Amino acid sequence: MKKLLIILVLFVTSLTYAQGISVSGNVMDGAYDGQPLAFANVKVKGLDIYAETDINGSFELNLLEGSYSLIVDFIGYEPIELEGIVVADKSLTIEPVVLEAKKLKADILLAAKG
C-alpha cells in the first residue's frame, strides 16, 4: 500500500511539472487598423504544438524551458516567424503580432503599371 502511494505521488508530481510554462500573446490585423485577428494559427516550429487565437486575438501555449521559433499565420495573410523566443521559469507574454494581407498578383501588376 505504501509503495502504491509513493508511485501515485511521483506520477502526479511529474504530470504537474510537465505541463510547462505559459507563453501568451495577441495577433492583430494590420489591414484593419490593428483589430484582433480571431482564429489565426500559432505553431511551434519543428514541433507538433500549436494554438488558435480566440475571438479577441489571444493565444496561449504551454512550453517547457528552452528556445523556440513560433510561426503565426492566417489564410490570406503573410506568415510571420518569431525566432529566439526564450521560455524560462515564469510565464512569458509576447508583444502583439501584426499580420499583413498578402499582395495578390493583380495588385502587384497594377502597381507596376501605375
21-113: what fold?
A: Immunoglobulin-like (2.60.40)
Tell me the backbone φ, ψ of residue 104, rounded to 5 degrees. -80, 155
Query: Would you say residue 107 has pLDDT above 90?
Result: no
Separation of alpha carbons 85 and 69, rounded Å: 6
Domain boundaries, the chain: 21-113
Smallest Cα–Cα separation from 85: which of 22, 28, 18? 22
- The DSSP symbol for 32 reads G
The C-alpha angle with vertex 36 and arms to 66 and 26, in degrees rounded to 5, equals 15
Of the chain, the percentage scoring pLDDT greater than 70 comes to 75
Separation of alpha carbons 80 and 113, rounded Å: 29
Written as nine digits, the cell of 78 is 503573410
How does pLDDT run across 45-97, given as a tens digit for each residue? 999 999 999 999 999 999 999 999 999 999 999 999 999 999 998 899 999 99
Separation of alpha carbons 46 and 66, rounded Å: 13
